Structure 1
Amino acid sequence: MTDIPLPQWAQVLDTDDFHPRGRLTPQAALGARTWFRVGGPAEVLFQPASTEDLAQVMQRLPLEVPVLPLGACSNVIVRDGGIDGMVIRLARGFSTITRDGEGLVAGAACLDMTVAEHAAESGLSGLEFLAGIPGSIGGAVAMNAGAYGSDMATVLDWVEVVTRDGRLLRLPAASLDFGYRHATLPPQSVVVRVRLAAVDAPPAAIRQRIGEIRAAREAAQPVRARTGGSTFRNPDPDESGRRAWELIDAAGCRGLRVGGAQMSEKHCNFMLNTGDATAADLEGLGDAVRRRVHGHTGVTLRWEIKRIGRPAHAGTGIPA
């Protein structure tokens, strides 16, 4: 805890008869936790110690208070005004990886790259594509992350979630209605564990493929910059036969700047914080690109990066 008091709605989470084992932090800075390094604070940040700890807090939390799980924050813009309600960030208690037959069971906080490397050590193939996706496994499920010829819908067997009312559910992959960069999870639920299917293969061959994916990503993307991955989704084939970066390039947006935000010269579907960008700069740049692309091609690009929270100086809608 800090010297800043919990808001009134959160005081039910720290009483004489109940103390979560995890960490509750009011007005927790989020910007430094995101890949863009921008954004305001969480009204309350909860870092649970275990699934049981998370479930107990969700049960006690008033239902009118919004809950937002955040993973590695690799594909989000946290707006400058911060996030109302409770932000949940999974950490050490959710980072175990174990072999389960021809597959892995992984905690939601595990980084995608770590899961790919663990699969290689176990002689399990089919998860190499995760080496090319920044972020954590929980977020990968929530957005059906994919790259290099595969995605989560292809490899997920089941997912365990804690629901907004504190129940632990195991959901089969078929129930998630996977689509392009989409999965249907219970509203405001938190992914805590998954099982990923794989097949036996020689570890050396798996490591070679991971090395190829990492090299390809480094060659094509600004991986050492303050970025957030692909900014916009590729259009549906009936909208355009060109990928998002091709449309952005054709509209003359490669290198476009708004304040401290810039579309990458290396890969123009990536936004960069060049050093002093605000969240408003980044979102404003994205909106400017969308306008130019629509004006040039008639195609409306859809955000792949999630923009969350309130703009600076916007009021809160959470009960006092």
Structure 2
Amino acid sequence: MEATTQQRNPAPHTGLLREENTILRRLFGYRDNVTTDLMPDVLGVKLGKTTLSDARFLYIDIDSIQEKEGVVQQLHIGVSLLDTRNLQRSIFGSPTAKPEAQMIESHHFVVGSPKFARIKSNKFLFGPFETISLADLRARLGAMTLHRNIILIYHGGDRELKTLTQINLDLRPVCIIDTVKATQYTLQLSYRYSLERLLDEFEFPFCNLYTAGNDGAHFILRALLMIVVTDAELQSDPSVHPPWPWLPILRAIAHAPCPSPSQVPTPSQLDGLILIKKRSQRKARKPETGH
């Protein structure tokens, strides 16, 4: 009886249309007649013969932060990117187009000691983790974002945004999208979906979720694509406009197979990799001697 009453009388904030939805509609071009003050004019420029804005989606997830006197000493940081230029190549069947499973570029960086690097590093599904200094991390992220329109993505809260400021990492995004808010309208929700609930909603297989490189840095971008797909299908009228050519591509990227956990290095294998790296670093530091 209570559930029936709730269905008949949805909460006032159920399914609110957020700025995030408006920005996504403009970015992918399936509702160009909508306006938002939060989207810079530069994103109105479309990639050749598509409705896609020229942009790079970036999600950063930070985990296992260790601080001393308010200064970050060690952390795990997951980074994932999706470039609309790659979507454009796929639409037109370019020989340089990436397979769907490789469209989202993911990294797991570890700032800290070899012992600290073992924490969760062996659970990253999308490649080997990389130990790195904060200075080198800033340089790497700077290279990933240089001369590009960056759309920064996050899923509820602003912990990552505060930590990025704390470690002096300015990504200069042209706009920011919260997937929690974007989901509210698309799925007609009156409450916030957790990450697990969101992935279940879109029927994504997932594991090792709370690892920096996996949850924020990869699976959330997959969920973002399905938010776009769902909203675009709701807004489209096939009798007026043919299906958007990027729709099946986004769906294929979102549901691309994930690596098996058995392919992830075990802690003992990680120890071996760390030892090999330390030996190579010592060897590189040794001065060459003539004979």
Both structures adopt the same fold (TM-score exceeding 0.5):
no
Q: Which has the higher strand share?
A: 1
How does the TM-score come out when normalised to structure 1? 0.24
Give the TM-score, by structure 2 length.
0.25
Higher RCO structure, 1 or 2 (CA under 8 Å, sep 6+): 2
| Structure ranking higher in helix proportion | 2
